[in-house]
Every structure is written in structure tokens, then in C-alpha cells.
Amino acid sequence: MLLTIERIAKNFGGLAALSDISFGIEPGQIFGLIGPNGAGKTTLFNCLTGVYKPSAGRFTFEDADITGISEPKVAQRGIARTFQNIRLFKEMTVLENVMVGRHCRTASRLWGAITRNRKTRDEEREIRTKAAELLAFVELSGPEDHLAKNLPYGHQRRLEIARALATEPSLLCLDEPAAGMNPQEAGELMAMIRRIRDRGVTVLLIEHHMRVVMGICDRVAVLDGGRLVTAGPPDDVRGDPRVIEAYLGKAPAC
């Protein structure tokens, strides 16, 4: 197991946003996390990546207990994420956004910054090259010098993925990356997620569109009202009456 989630719970005051969630993710999978609005999907991401401390339970990642460690440490360990409502560094250029992602894999400090010694210059060049490579990978090489906030919506999503990949994660968590995209864009995005998996990165994907998830995921977990309804291969999940009741019943559009 790459990531084991054990009996995770999260309460906000009296509201149990998550209760008793347990499942595991194998390396090399594309793992789908689905559920209706307010099911607790984003909250689970936030607990995993250190934004919130879970009220109970344990995350084991690459055989180490990472429950409750800070966000930068989580990134350092190799878990990267994107956000449901895109969070880019708006006033920085597209390239710079990805360069910031290299932060936790580089080391130059104040002394290097002000003396600009050889080591720092080499590192800076490496950061730039890697960032440019990743932009090419997400097909954003053209607008490198544009400000992030001037990119069209779909490109912003891809930029956020490139920035997350720049941290060299072994697990990439995507929070509804296809939200607001038209079917063609969403199709391209799914192809990109497959390419990411083929680079050796395990993907944990929150998604609303049932169809999209079923087409791409190796395994799927379904949340509803903060509880795990079921987890398993897409075909099993699709046929599960509890899922149909909890999820499909409430989202006829899918």
C-alpha cells in the first residue's frame, strides 16, 4: 500500500464531516473518490495534506505515520495536491508558478541568494529547466511569461497540476480537476491524468462526473454524508445499490 487511511474522522463543532473512513491506495493506481456535494471529499484531502488535523484515525504513507504533520512536511514527503477552487500565484508568471513548486526539492538559502554562488546558479538553472519541462508536459509552453491570472480557466487547471507535479510527488491528489470544463477539455484532461500515472505517479482523483471516473479509475471509493459507502473496482461500485441510492439518486444529471 502507498497510502493507508485508517478510521479517519473529522468533526467541525457538532458536524461530523468525516467518520470512520478506511481504505488503501496501491501504488500506480488512479484512485477515484466520489460522492455528492458535502460528502466530505475535500475535507478528507485537507486532513491528508495537513490543512486540518483529523479528530481521530491515522494516515500511513510509504510506511510512515503522517497523521497531523504540517502541509509543507506533507509536500516534502511526496504528496502533492490541487485545489477545488483553483489557487494559483496570480501575480506571478506561469513559469514562476511551476518554479515555486520546486521549492521543496531544492535547497539554496539566504546565503546562496545574496552571494549568488555557483551552486545557487546551477540549482536555479535546474529549477527553470524542470519547470519548463513540466509546462511542456501539460501543454502550456506558449504562455510561460504571462501572468497566471490571465490564463483561460482550463489552462489554469493544467498549470496547477504542473505546479503540483513540480514537487515530485509519489501521490498526486486532484480535487475536481475537470470542474467547469467542457466535455472535450475534460477528455483531454483525463488523457493527461493517464500520462501522469504512466510517469509513475499515483493519482487520487476527486470527481463529480460519474462517467469520467468510471472510465479512468482503477478503483473507486464512494463517500456520502461523511461515511464510506463502498470501495472497489468501478464495475462493482457502479452496480452497488447503496451507491445508486446515495449518489446517483441525488445527481440524475450523471
Partner 1 sequence: MSGRLKYLIWPLWIAVLVWPFTKLRGALIVLAAAAAGSALLFVLRSWAPRIALPAMPRLASFSGHTKTGLLIALVLFSLALPLCLNKYFLDVVVTAGIYVVLALGLNIIVGLAGLLVLGYIAFYAVGAYGYAILSTHFHLNFFWALPIGALLALLAGLLLGLPTLRLRGDYLAIVTLGFGEIMRIVLNNWDGLTGGPNGIMHIGRPAIGALALGRPTHLYYIVLALIALAALLTSRLNRSRLGRALVAMREDETAARACGIDTTRLKVLAFCLSAAVAGLMGVVFAAKMSFVSPESFTFWESVMVLCMVVLGGMASVPGVILGALALIVLPEAFRGLQHYRMLVFGAAMIAMMIFRPQGLLPSRRRTLELGE
Ligand X SMILES: Nc1ncnc2c1ncn2[C@@H]1O[C@H](COP(=O)(O)OP(=O)(O)OP(=O)(O)O)[C@@H](O)[C@H]1O
For partner 1, the binding residues (CB under 8 A) are: 49-51, 70-72, 75-76, 80-81, 83, 87-93, 96, 99-106, 108-110, 112-114, 116, 120, 123-124, 127, 145-147, 149-150, 163-164, 166-167
Residue nearest to Mg ion (CB): 42
Q: Between 98 and 178, whose beta carbon lies closer to ligand X?
A: 178
Encoded amino acid at 41, one letter:
K
Q: Which amino acid is at 2?
A: L
Q: Is the CB of residue 91 less than 8 Å from the CB of residue 183?
A: no
Nearer of residues 104 and 173 to ligand X, judged by Cβ: 173
Interacting positions 144-203 with ligand X (CB under 6 A)? none
β 30-34/219-224 pair status: parallel
DSSP annotation string for 66-132: -TT--HHHHHHHTEEE--SS----TTSBHHHHHHHHGGGG----HHHHHH--HHHHHHHHHHHHHHH
From edge to edge, which strands make up the β-sheet containing 15-25?
15-25, 3-12, 56-61, 64-65
Residues near Mg ion (CB under 5 A), total = 2
Question: Which of 92, 179 has the CB closer to ligand X?
Answer: 179
84 forms part of the interface with Mg ion (CB under 5 A): yes
37 binds, among ligand X, partner 1, Mg ion, none (CB under 5 to 8 A by kind): ligand X
Q: Which is nearer to partner 1, 60 or 84 (by Cβ)?
A: 84
Select the binding partner of residue 69 from Mg ion, partner 1, ligand X, none (C-beta < 5 to 8 A, by kind): none
Q: CB of 253: closest distance to partner 1 in angstroms? A: 30
- 40: DSSP letter: S
Task: Choose the contact partner of 150 out of Mg ion, partner 1, ligand X, none; CB within 5 to 8 A by kind.
Answer: partner 1
| DSSP class of 222 | E
